[in-house]
Amino acid sequence: MPTSAKTQWTRKHLLGLEDLSAEEILTVLDVADGYLPCVTQRRPYPPALKGRTVLNLFCEDSTRTRTSFTFAAERLGARVFQFHMATSSLNKKETLIDTARNIEAMGLDAIVVRHPERGAPHRLAEAVRCSVLSAGDDAHEHPTQALLDMLAIRRKLGRLQGLTLALVGDVRHSRVARSNLFGLSKFANRILFVGPPAFLDKLDVEVETATDFDAVLPQCDAIMMLRVQFERHEAVAFDVDEYVRGYQLTPARLARAKPGAIVLHPGPVNRGREMTNEVCDGPQSVILFQATCGVAVRMACLQLCIGALERERKANAGKAGKGKRR
C-alpha cells in the first residue's frame, strides 16, 4: 500500500473513485495539501488555470460542491459559467449531451456535472472532448466529496490507514458512502456501514455492516454521519423517531467512541435528526474543515484533469502537424 504519491496523473476525467489507484488518490491529496494554505491563510493562488473556462453543469441542488468548485476554479484563474437547469433548454427536451456539446462548441476546458441519473458523468465524458469531473450522480459516486473527506481525515488524524471508520445512516442511498468506501478501503482501513436494516438492505457493494451503533462506537476513529435522503427513497420503511433513538449522534454516544475520534458529515446536515447541535458544533466535529478541504481538493482535481487534457491536446496537435507535413 503506497503512503506517498509517485504516479504521473494521466486522467482528463474524474468520474469516480472505484477505478482510481491508491497512488492516484494520494496524488490528488498531496496536490490538495499544497493548496490548503492558500485557502486557510489567504496565501496567493498560483494562476494554474488562467485563460481556462469551466462549466458548472448542475442538474440537482447543491450548496457546497457548486460553490467550492467555483471558488477552486476562479482562484486558479479560470472563468466559470454557472448553468441553471431551471432556465435552460433542458426544459424544452434538449438532451444533457446536446446541451454540453453546444456549450463546449463555444470553448470549454472542463465540465463539472451533477446529475440525478447514475452514469450521466460517464456518458458525458464519452460525448465531449474536454475534461469531465463528477460532482455526484444519483446514489452512485461523489468522488470529490470522498477525496475531501480523506484529506480532512489525514489532516486531523495524521494518517489515512489502519483506521476504523463508521459511515452511519442512509448508506443505501448515499453516493458519499460508496465513494468513501471505494477510496478508504484502498488504504487498509476498516469501513463499517451502520444503520437500520432497511438502509443495509440491497447494498450493491461488499462492506461490513452493523445495525447496533452503540456497539461499534468504541472501535471508531472517525464517524461519518449521513443525511436521510428522502428524495431517493422508493418504498423504504422508515420511522423518524425510531431512527433518532438508534442512530442520532448525541454527546453521550460520542463519548463511547475512541478518545480523539472525529465526526464528519458531508452536508447538508439535518440538525436534530442525524446529530444534535452539541455534536455538530462541538470540538470533535470537523464538518466546516471538510468544507475548507473541498476547495483545496477541487483545485487539485481541476488542475490535474485539465493538465492531462492539455497534454492530450498538444499530442493531438503534434500528430495533426506531422500529417500535414507529409
Question: Which one of the listed residues 64, 156, 190, 258 is annotated catalytic?
Answer: 64
Instruction: Establish whether 64 is a catalytic residue.
Output: yes
Question: Which one of the listed residues 66, 115, 142, 253 is annotated catalytic?
Answer: 142
Toward ligand CP, which CB reaches closer, 143 or 195? 143
Toward ligand CP, which CB reaches closer, 59 or 308? 59
Instruction: Establish whether 93 is a catalytic residue.
Output: yes
Q: Residue 16 to residues 109, 239, 270, 298: CA-CA distances in angstroms?
A: 19, 32, 26, 14
User: What minimum distance in Å lies between the beta carbon of 148 and ligand CP?
Assistant: 9
User: What minimum distance in Å lies between the beta carbon of 297 and ligand CP?
Assistant: 12
- CA gap 207, 75 in Å, rounded: 38
- CA gap 291, 4 in Å, rounded: 24
Instruction: Establish whether 53 is a catalytic residue.
Output: no
Question: Which one of the listed residues 52, 75, 114, 178 is annotated catalytic?
Answer: 114
Instruction: Establish whether 114 is a catalytic residue.
Output: yes
Instruction: Establish whether 66 is a catalytic residue.
Output: no
User: What minimum distance in Å lies between the beta carbon of 60 and ligand CP?
Assistant: 8
Measure the CA angle with vertex 37, ends 35 and 42; round to 5°.
110
List the beta bridge partners of residue 114.
58
Toward ligand CP, which CB reaches closer, 298 or 308? 298
Toward ligand CP, which CB reaches closer, 74 or 312? 74
Q: In 313-325, which positions are buried (b, 16+ CB within 10 angstroms) versus exposed (e)?
A: eeeeeeeeeeeee
Contact 245, 214 (CB under 8 A): no
User: What minimum distance in Å lies between the beta carbon of 149 and ligand CP?
Assistant: 9
Toward ligand CP, which CB reaches closer, 154 or 298? 298
User: What minimum distance in Å lies between the beta carbon of 270 and ligand CP?
Assistant: 13
Contact 199, 225 (CB under 8 A): no
Measure the CA angle with vertex 255, ends 149 and 208; round to 5°.
50
- CA gap 111, 274 in Å, rounded: 33
Question: Which one of the listed residues 6, 42, 93, 319 is annotated catalytic?
Answer: 93
- CA gap 180, 191 in Å, rounded: 9
Take residue 113 and report the three cell numbers written for it.
456535472
Which residues are at the interface with ligand CP (CB under 6 A)? 62-65, 136, 145, 266-268
Please provide the DSSP assignment of 277-292 as one string. Answer: HHHHTSTTB-HHHHHH
- CA gap 171, 147 in Å, rounded: 18
Residues noted as catalytic? 64-65, 93, 114, 142
